[in-house]
Copies of this chain bind each other. A is one copy, B any other.
Amino acid sequence: MSGNEEERGPVDLVIVGSVGIDDVATPAESRKDLLGGSASYACAAASFFARTGMVGIVGSDFPGDYLSLYRSLGIDTGGLETVEGSTFRWAGVYEDNMIERRTISTELNVFETFSPELPAAYRSAPYLLLGNISPGLQLHVLDQAADVRFTAADTMNLWIDTDRDALMNVISRVDMLTLNDGEARMLTGKWGLRDCARVILDLGPEYVVIKKGEHGAMLFSKDEVFIVPAYPVENVIDPTGAGDMFAGATLGVLAAAGTGAGLAEVKKALFQGAVVASFGVEDFSLEGLRNLAPAQIHERLDALRRMTSMG
């Protein structure tokens, strides 16, 4: 794989996360053996904008077609480790509202022994997204990324419950934390999202992004609040990975611009994140992104800007 890397040059953005095979049931349809995982969704979204390297682990059963899909999406898989055994699997069912979901089963498999190592070519990447994996693994990656200029981390309720100290450590070392509204409340013990954000900002990050699913997201910095709208999708087919695509595209835009991550840049990037995620939820797995043309992203971005413009 290192030959491949060298051909393609260094990456601008490294994304660490899970790679999995998902069974997803929605009220309308059930699908089995889908490509999933936080790294898959985030890298696919980011690679529309920036040269993105994936750090993850798969088993020897991981379908070659999925590796091909990563590459056709432009993802650098130089940091994707393949080991003997089965790939991580997740199965879930969405309720009628397409928001709440029940996990039917989780098989960690090769993920259980995952210790993410950044290939040499990734260690100087200026942007880093720590997808939703255990805070211990996120810290291990942070220790290897000495030259990183901007790091974002995502998390979930599980780690708030089971590994709070390590998570607090992660939060203190990143520039941006993304999490959903319920998780923000759980982490801080506050109800109002501005209160939640204040507590998290005090832990260290420059930005907190609180995600609200179909209702968009809110960006908080010490001095500002920014309301990120969601693009109103006609028909949500599969919301799995929406938050990962949102974060991935956001970091991709920042990494591609390379002009730093001031508030104005972050706002623009979050709009792009919302748009890419809106395409992603219009089909299962990565299907909504696979044939997506940049012109479609621009068109929907313009539409979203009109929907939020007084003019």
Contacts and interface: CB of A to CB of B under 8 A. Distances in A.
Interface of A: 98, 191-195, 212, 215-216, 218, 224-227, 229, 232-236, 264, 267-268, 271, 305-308, 310-311
Closest 6 CB pairs of A and B: A215-B215, A227-B229, A227-B307, A225-B307, A227-B308, A267-B310
Given A227-B229, A227-B307, A194 B264 contact: no
A226 B192 CA distance: 25
Given A310-B267, A311-B264, A225 B229 contact: no
Given A215-B215, A229-B227, A234 B310 contact: no
A227 B310 CA distance: 10
Quickly give the copy total for this chain.
2
Given A215-B215, A227-B229, A229-B229, A236 B192 contact: yes
A193 B98 CA distance: 13
A42 to B, nearest CB: 23
A234 B191 CA distance: 9
A218 B232 contact: yes
A306 B227 CA distance: 9
Contacts of A305: 310
B268 A310 contact: yes
A195 B234 contact: yes
Contacts of A311: 264
**Among the interface residues A195, A226, A236, A264, which one has the most CB atoms of the partner chain B within 10 A?**
A226
Contacts of A268: 310
A232 B308 CA distance: 16
B229 A192 contact: no
A236 B190 CA distance: 13
B310 A271 contact: yes
A153 to B, nearest CB: 23
Contacts of A193: 232
Nearest to A98: B191
A190 B31 CA distance: 23
Given A215-B215, A310-B268, A311-B264, A192 B234 contact: yes
